[in-house]
A and B are shown apart, each in its own frame.
Chain A
């Protein structure tokens, strides 16, 4: 503004508007800069805790990690040093695996119903909404539910009960993410298959699912990563053990449950074990998350 005014030669001709940034009033420029730096600051505020968590877990857990730590039994007194997290590693693998084995088929079939059959009818819309609601059900409630409806019936806390609870938590996540992926499959593929005379189920199984499989797998892996870190249901329904149990029967434990148990102890030995278990769990969860991201980014390229 000021620059244009001090140019007398151009007074007669129409002055082109000065669109340079410096021509803006100071107040507007300051507000703009201020708001932008606030946005950057917000990002920083969120990333600092992430960095700190990763730093603390790594630096305090790394000293603990060894082959022995991963396979040895948990000492039956929290006060005692040494020992390992063997039973928790075994339990995490067995319980999460069983939960995935239950939730994946059910979830994928459910998503096929939503996207291939139900589409926008009333039942599909209801199931969709309820799946969203179920995603929001706290994990501790799912643990209580399995306790009431399974543990009280068979009168035994077991790894299988924990797997049921984790499966219930995974189910809605898998349904919704798989449905998104199925929706991305172009209709031309279905029509082409139908034109060749294939039945609906044949089309779905041999054309639609293979087209969406990488997206579905990536969603499933994220769900598994989340479930592996769930603690409350395991604490409520899995019971306590100190030596490895590779079967679904009988009491079991997971890394997450052990972290919770040991974190509350005042003894340094227990707290160390908690850090070690936390590092192990983080590595497992991050491996799954990164793998899921890689698979899904591959998929995105193919889409284009």
Chain B
């Protein structure tokens, strides 16, 4: 009788209660770690970068970190505009090149490819994502940049006379280390990201919509145009913004192939600089306020990428909700 009673005691007061609380606390604090790290990033870095934040920091494109021997303006100038410009240009090139390619691959995978080769292609795209960025950088600086030099010269000769294109495709740098090269290398690196999200988005298109298009006698392309694309527009936009965020933060490959010169020019065949690139490039030789300025650029980069990511998540989520509404 007593034994039975004991075994049926299902109150919360028995052994193991403390273990349960402890395990819960462990898990919650692990979850909190994410929030704590993000908060610490912002606080500690802003504090460290504070001495470098001045009016020049955001408005000037003059970068004289160590005033050499008094022949400069007398004191160091930390203007980051040229780097911000380079980051924007390079990521814009990357996105413009990568988006059609990724959307094409995603459509190929979801709508065209037979099941058997689908897995193989997904593996290959994953492989592309697995190649470390520094390897792309090495390949970019030693193989791609020298190979693209003559191509740029040819493009400049052909298109140089046309008004707008002429200023974009100006006199090329012979080393081939240019905005364009950096943008192209970046494009390769963000293709897997955009592809995988676009693929997920396309997979959520309700089958009934597609069947309806088939039943109306649509060709495959007409089915894609009429049923798949309108349905997934929001999601694809989100994917593109995510890719943009990744492109802006990519450091090493860009640092190697962008050519490292501080200037703002419309000429895509010129050398430039990007925010993350200058941080790793000049880190070793920096001291004092110079270091603070580099950390300040890290803060700018952090804020931009966090905002871009938040916007992307928001867009994707809204698109998802709308899709679920349509499917119901």
Contact = CB atoms under 8 A, between A and B. Distances in A.
Interface string A103-118: 0011111101110111
A136 B245 contact: yes
A35 B221 contact: yes
A52 B191 CA distance: 16
A8 B189 CA distance: 60
B302 A229 contact: no
A155 to B, nearest CB: 14
B220 interface: yes
B126 A293 contact: yes
Nearest to A149: B44
A110 B30 contact: yes
A197 B174 CA distance: 74
Contacts of B266: none
A286 B219 contact: no
Interface stretch (B56-64, B76-84, B149-157, B246-254): B246-254
A139 interface: yes
B300 to A, nearest CB: 10
B305 A137 contact: yes
Contacts of A200: 20, 23-24
Interface string B21-38: 011101111111111011
Interface residues of A, number: 96
Interface string B242-263: 1001101111100110000000
Interface stretch (B67-75, B130-138, B165-173): B130-138
A80 interface: no
Contacts, number: 273
B219 A24 contact: yes
Interface stretch (A64-72, A121-129, A243-251): A121-129
A140 B255 CA distance: 11
Contacts of B188: 46, 49-50
SS of B interface (majority) = helix
B256 A149 contact: no
B187 to A, nearest CB: 9
Given A42-B105, A52-B139, A168-B37, A138 B249 contact: yes
Interface in A27-74: 28-29, 31-32, 34-36, 38-43, 45-47, 49-50, 52-53, 56-57
Interface string B296-309: 00100110011011
Interface of B: 10, 16-17, 19-20, 22-24, 26-35, 37-38, 40-41, 44-45, 47-48, 100-105, 107-108, 112, 121, 123-128, 130-139, 141-143, 188, 191, 195, 217, 219-222, 224, 242, 245-246, 248-252, 255-256, 276, 279-280, 283, 294-295, 298, 301-302, 305-306, 308-310, 313
Given A138-B249, A225-B130, 8 more contacts: A109-B26, A112-B30, A130-B34, A141-B298, A149-B44, A228-B132, A229-B131, A236-B279
Interface of A: 19, 24, 28-29, 31-32, 34-36, 38-43, 45-47, 49-50, 52-53, 56-57, 105-110, 112-114, 116-118, 123-124, 126-127, 129-142, 144-145, 147-149, 152, 168, 171-172, 175, 197, 199-202, 204-205, 222, 225-226, 228-232, 235-236, 256, 259-260, 263-264, 271, 274-275, 278, 281-282, 285-286, 289, 293
